[in-house]
Structure formats: structure tokens, C-alpha cells
Amino acid sequence: MSLFRRLATACVVAASLLPSIAPASAAVAYERVAYFAQWGIYQRNFLVKNVDTSGAASKLTTINYAFGNVSEQGLCFEANEAGVGDAWADYQKRFKAGESVDGVGDVVTQPLAGNFNQLRKLKAKHPGLKALISLGGWTWSKYFSNAALTPASRQAFAASCIDLYLKGNLPKIGTSPHGGPGSGAGVFDGIDIDWEWPGSEGNVGNVVRPEDKQNFTLLLAELRRQLDEYGAQTGRHYYLTAFLPADPAKIDAGVGVPGVFSSLDFATVQGYDFNGPWNSRTGHQSNLYSNPNDPSAEKFSVDAAVGAYLSRGAPAGKIVVGVPAYGKG
């Protein structure tokens, strides 16, 4: 159930089940969330500008920027290294006027360029839109367990992520003139934790510990504490969200419900990748209800996933159902 795979296929929309999707300015209590894939600007040439010109930006409440990496030391960081980080896409690439949200091209002297600057422009054009930095994903969840391990590591992780992404203290890397203290301030309105998966197997090589379940709850609590502390200084609320698994076995192994939800503004529950090329048998990848004739041992469905969280004490008002905008073959 790979977040990397689903985003590499197409942009994923995670939305509450609505009969229709109204503009984000409408007075409704639903979160309408979409992921913007950092690497989509390359082969697919899908730019932040396209989120605006397609009309999507006016219908969304939140964009999750995927992804930020976590170091072996359990800290947020930026780098320009294949498979490790893409600071060039994040805040160094200069977009031309025709590629820019507001039609103004980037120049060498501005502190912030790249996708981050375009997100800031998109938010200026759509004042009700939030942008969250999504950390981890299938590929970059390797060291979450290290970040969550001790009170000291949790404190350091939260502080590093707030400093980098909310305070915007982006490092200057290589010969690029972009970055510097406060250069990325105002881009992000909070943090999304996409740990795949606490307490159970994810990508090959991930660090997994039996105590991940309790530490995941403690990690979110520390993030919530520091976000609120920083918000008291700036006079605003910073969002904390998470992407959570559909598999009841993974829920029980790593998600302490309702403790996790007490720290979150909302959680996106996986509503897709129930079946895929990793299976030997064909099956639905995002079915709403379980099929009683399904021969699989695990009869995954959106209904079963949401029901699993509700039965464990999750508040219904904090559950966002993940809906795929792609298929598998």
C-alpha cells in the first residue's frame, strides 16, 4: 500500500464523501485535501500553476506537499541528493513567467523560488487554501521510529521541522542563491505526518520497533505542543494531520486510537491501494464496501477502514476519507 506508488501514478485527492464539491470558500465543515507531488514538475510537467488553472485550487481546503524527508538522527532536513532530497525542486528552481501562478517569473536575487514560492503565490490567490508539508511517505518513512524514540528525540524532531518549514529557515545549498533565514516563512500552515507504518512493515529497510505505537502518540503530542507554542507567538493556529493505514492489523500495531486523534486536526484514512500489482489475485483497489464473495483473507474496503477507527474511539469529525484519482493495472 505504497504512498510513493500512488503519487507516482497520479495526484491523489483525499476528500470527504460529498454529493458535490463546492468552492473552498463555501461555509461547509469538510476538508478537501490533495497531494502535490514534488517530482511531478519533471516528466509530467505538472506545476503548481496547474492546480490553479485546472480549477482545483478553488475547490480545495488543503494541499499536502509530498514529501519531506527525516534523517537517521530523526530530524527534518533539505538536501540535493538523488533519493534523499530535492531542494532544487522545493525552493531553488526558478520558474519562468509562463510557468508561474501569478505570471511573474523568478529572479536570481529573490530569497525563495521553486515549488515553495509557487505555493505561497497560490495561497495568496486563494486565501482560504492551506498548505501542509507532508513528511515521510512510502520511501522516506525509514527513520520515523528514531525520531519518535525518546523525549529528547521527539523534541528535537518537532523543533527541526517547525524551524525548517514553518519558520522557513531554509539552508543555502551549493551555489544556489536561494534560501536563508526566514526565506520560506509563510509557505506552510502546518505539518502532515505520513509514517508508513509505525509498529509494522513498510518499505524495505524501515526501522520498526515494538514501542512505535506508544511513541507515535507521544510524537504527535510533542508536535502539537510545539505547534501551539509557536502559534501563541505568531497569533495563529498551525495544523497537524496524519495519513493512517486502512489495515486493522496495522492500526492495532501502530496507531493508538483515540490518543493519536487528540493531537490531530484531522487524519486522512487510506481509502485505496487495497489491491495492486503486489497481489497474485485481481481485486478492487478502492471499493467502498467489502465484497462477501471476495476470496481474499483480508476483505479491505473504505467502510471497513473507517469502521475500524470509529470502533476504536476515533471521532468521526476528524476522519477524511482518501479517494484515489487513478487506477491500477
Catalytic residue numbers read 196
CB 100 within 8 A of CB 125: no
Contacts of 225 (CB under 8 A, 6+ apart): 158
Distances (CA, A) of 306 to 47, 139, 193, 314: 33, 25, 19, 9
- Beta strand residue intervals within the chain, DSSP E: 13-15, 32-37, 62-70, 76-77, 80-81, 85-86, 130-136, 190-194, 239-244, 266-269, 319-323
Sign of the C-alpha dihedral, residues 53, 132, 160, 83? negative
Distance CA 309, CA 245 (A): 10
The three cell numbers locating residue 304: 471497513
Distance CA 237, CA 227 (A): 8
